[in-house]
Amino acid sequence: MLTLELDDGRIALMKKTPFGSHAPDTGRAQILRLAPALAAALALAGALAPAGALAPAGALAPAAEAIVPEAGRPVVRIARVHDAIGPVSARFMADAIERAEAEKAEFVLFELDTPGGLDDSMRLVIKRMLGAQVPVVVYVAPAGARAASAGAFITLAAHVAAMAPNTVIGAAHPVSVGGEAMETNMSAKVANDAAALIRSLAEKRGRNVDWADSAVRQSVSLSETEALAKKAIDLVAPSLDALVKDLDGRVVQINGAPRTIRTVNAICLETQMTWRDRFLAFISNPNVAYLLFMLGLLGIYFELSNPGAILPGTVGVIAIILALFAFQTMPINIAGIALMLLAVILFILEAKIVSNGVLFLGGLVSMVIGSLMLIDAPDPTLRVSLQVIFGAVAVTGAFFAVGAWLSAVALLRRPFSGAPGLVGLEGDARSAINAEGGCAFVAGAHWNARADREIPAGTRVRILEVTGMTLKVGPLAGGA
């Protein structure tokens, strides 16, 4: 996804295939007792995702051992960006360029695989690349990778654009952030703005301006061989090592001055994300963001249900804020969020209103539909995994189902305190009991008692009714 920040609002560019007596809070207390179990279960729900689904989207290969460059040997800085272009990846790319400049590296090489990204982040990267004091090489790799939307812009902005076999580039037609069709005038305005930018980049780097324009206006995509034939890129290389060798002797323009790249006997060093950027990249994963949003909704519910608990509310607010940070890089559907909020409300009502399961089923359906609608993106990597959705919904639904069942059991249970709790208890007649009165010993206390017929002292009795502080009793069958 690629968004363009214009006066009329934020627009996205992407390929358009695009959570006693009966006490009044008994049920709530039962639910709150289950809260820790729910939190743990939601955390485990991520295990239902496909392998690697919860891995940081911009995760890098294992760090290479630190190498001290030898005098006279060229240094090549390599950074891998396998993620949507957002604030985290943009900062990482800018930092990699800055580090290469500080080391006077021969060039900085970005291994790119992205479905697109935010316009602000894309433009930050492009500005840094255009002003770089070292050559910037973009290599669309590994096999199966693509440079779509924002990735196409960034690739064309590089001094050298290269692709690995079985990769694609292009598909940058504008659509709205939520995936809906744009109003005609706005669509034209955004498309013209994006087309002008990509044409200027292609012209500056001596690449195919006509194809660049069609990538925006018609969502045209090219394979690596087609891109090379149309002069949309400069090289096709089967591996990173081969690319580094092929770059030797190539001349590029750095701020208007020619510069020859030397890679013979070069030392390749990999730039890794910092732990902070790795964490931010991790929570930006759609599956992690979805689980954080679910956890945040439930945490806030627990806090509102039991004011003063503090921990659920604190965790909930933190989770919601982290989820919102991640959502800024995704095409979020407001209707999806509304349906998930409705689901939680229906679950709460089910614990308080006897609906024979209607509210619970409605909440379950609302949560499933809301989860499916939450992130409206054409690319699977920008959507929440179905395994994660159904796992989280199943865990949450089971939690509220158990809470509702415990509430119903508590409501139907015989009262154990107060006047209603005395009815049915057994005791002893301490004196003769008749319609005029008498004394009975029940539940460790002496009570005034009366009976419809004479009951001798010492007889076992059962309480039939309670009126004020007087018990109406009857003899037990066979009692003495």
Which of the residue ranges 45-59, 270-284, 416-430 would you say has the lowest mean pLDDT?
Answer: 45-59
What's the confidence (pLDDT) of residue 416? 56
Same domain, 228 and 363: no
Same domain, 21 and 139: no
In the predicted structure, residue 199 carries a pLDDT above the cut 70: yes
3-state secondary structure the chain: CEEEEECCEEEEECCCCCCCCCCCCHHHHHHHHCHHHHHHHHHHHHHHCCCCCCCCCCCCCCCCCCCCCCCCCCEEEEEEECCCECHHHHHHHHHHHHHHHHCCCCEEEEEECECCECHHHHHHHHHHHHCCCCCEEEEECCCCCEEECHHHHHHHHCCEEEECCCCEEECCCEECCCCCCCCHHHHHHHHHHHHHHHHHHHHHCCCCHHHHHHHHHCCCEEEHHHHHHCCCCCEECCCHHHHHHHCCCCEEEECCEEEECCCCCCEEEECCCCHHHHHHHHHCCHHHHHHHHHHHHHHHHHHHHCCCCCHHHHHHHHHHHHHHHHHCCCCECHHHHHHHHHHHHHHHHHCCCCCCCHHHHHHHHHHHHHHHHHECCCCHHHCCCHHHHHHHHHHHHHHHHHHHHHHHHHHHCCCCCHHHHHCCCEEEECCCEECCECEEEECCEEEEEECCCCECCCCEEEEEEEECCEEEEEECCCCC
- Give the best-scoring range by mean pLDDT among 246-260, 273-287, 306-320, 456-470: 246-260
Residue 434 domain boundaries: 418-475
- CB neighbours of 231 closer than 8 A, spacing ≥ 6? 207, 208
80 DSSP β-pair partners: 111
| pLDDT bracket for residue 56 (50, 70, 90) | very low
63 domain-assigned: no
What's the confidence (pLDDT) of residue 127? 95
First and final CA of the chain: distance in angstroms? 86
Cβ of 182: how many Cβ atoms within 10 Å? 16
Which of the residue ranges 33-37, 120-124, 129-133, 358-362 would you say has the lowest mean pLDDT?
Answer: 33-37
8 domain-assigned: no
d(CA 85, CA 306) in angstroms, rounded, equals 41
61 domain-assigned: no
| pLDDT bracket for residue 39 (50, 70, 90) | low
48 DSSP β-pair partners: none
Q: What is the dihedral of CA 427, 428, 432, 438, to 10 degrees?
A: -40
Same domain, 289 and 352: yes
What's the confidence (pLDDT) of residue 236? 97
Which of the residue ranges 65-69, 138-142, 207-211 would you say has the lowest mean pLDDT?
Answer: 65-69
In the predicted structure, residue 22 carries a pLDDT above the cut 70: no
Q: Domain of 103: which CATH number?
A: 3.90.226.10
Task: Give mean pLDDT, residues 310-319.
Answer: 89
Residue bearing the bigger pLDDT, 15 or 398: 398
d(CA 426, CA 445) in angstroms, rounded, equals 12
In the predicted structure, residue 206 carries a pLDDT above the cut 80: yes
What's the confidence (pLDDT) of residue 48? 42
- Structure tokens, 283: 């929570």
In the predicted structure, residue 405 carries a pLDDT above the cut 60: yes
Same domain, 126 and 263: yes
State pTM to two decimals: 0.64
Same domain, 81 and 206: yes
Cβ–Cβ under 8 Å, residues 19 and 297: yes
Same domain, 262 and 212: yes
Asked which of 227, 250, 274 is the last residue of a domain, the reply is: 274
What's the confidence (pLDDT) of residue 386? 85
Q: What is the pLDDT of residues 86-99, one digit of tens each?
A: 888 999 999 999 99
Share of the chain above pLDDT 90, in %: 36
d(CA 348, CA 298) in angstroms, rounded, equals 11
Task: Give mean pLDDT, residues 209-233.
Answer: 95
What's the confidence (pLDDT) of residue 53? 44
What's the confidence (pLDDT) of residue 443? 80
Rg (CA), the chain: 34
70 domain-assigned: no
For the chain, the domain total comes to: 3
Same domain, 255 and 115: yes
d(CA 247, CA 237) in angstroms, rounded, equals 10
- Structure tokens, 17: 């295939």
Task: Give mean pLDDT, residues 424-446.
Answer: 88
Asked which of 247, 274, 301 is the last residue of a domain, the reply is: 274
In the predicted structure, residue 323 carries a pLDDT above the cut 70: yes
| Phi, psi dihedral angles at 280 (to 5 degrees) | -65, -35
In the predicted structure, residue 112 carries a pLDDT above the cut 50: yes
Cβ–Cβ under 8 Å, residues 90 and 122: yes
64 domain-assigned: no
Asked which of 224, 243, 274 is the last residue of a domain, the reply is: 274
Q: Domain of 464: which CATH number?
A: 2.40.50.140
Same domain, 164 and 214: yes
425 domain-assigned: yes
Which of the residue ranges 23-27, 86-90, 194-198, 372-376 would you say has the lowest mean pLDDT?
Answer: 23-27
- Structure tokens, 330: 């995704």
Read off the amino acid at residue 120: D
Same domain, 90 and 38: no
Cβ–Cβ under 8 Å, residues 222 and 196: no
50 domain-assigned: yes
Read off the amino acid at residue 299: G
Q: What is the mean pLDDT of the chain?
A: 80
Same domain, 250 and 365: no
Same domain, 150 and 268: yes
Same domain, 349 and 260: no
48 domain-assigned: yes
What's the confidence (pLDDT) of residue 141? 96
